[in-house]
Structure 1
Amino acid sequence: MNQSILFPDIQTWDEEKQCVLFPAQQGGALIECAISKARLEMLSQQTCETEKQALALFCQFRFDIEELVEEEIEEENFDPQGRVAL
């Protein structure tokens, strides 16, 4: 794990966008990150129908998700708003 990228233990469900939002910090900069419900289900091989289920799956697979986000940050794969979206 790259220690220059930190992930605070903060995550929220965005009902409208159907994704879990969470921050990453690199060099003091805050980077907004998101993983879609579809990607979360694909990663976990489980379905989630509620906010509670989505957040539980996120917590269960947090390490894997953080590794994927680290790769995106290191490769500078940001969307036009400067976010990382999986």
Structure 2
Amino acid sequence: MKFKEDRPLGNPEAALARLLAIANGLEADHAGRLSVAIINRQFRDTGGSYEEYSAAVKAAIAHGWLTMHPSGAYLSFTQAGAERFA
């Protein structure tokens, strides 16, 4: 008997990889920023939770791949993050 459902993005590395893939697939605005709202919605649409999204964003920032705008509304790739997809 199973009491917990399997979470497709329950593994932090899988969540981080999915977050970066989503962010890489978006077109940045004129200032090179990506909307947190759009990334969050797409992340949740693929089966992720708010908690998994938050953990993935924190991990991407800790690795130095993304930065968050002071308003919290935008993410931007760092040079190291952009190089992952070059």
Q: What is the TM-score normalised by the length of structure 1?
A: 0.30
Larger radius of gyration: 2
Which structure's residues are more often strand, by fraction? 1
Structure with bigger helix share is 2
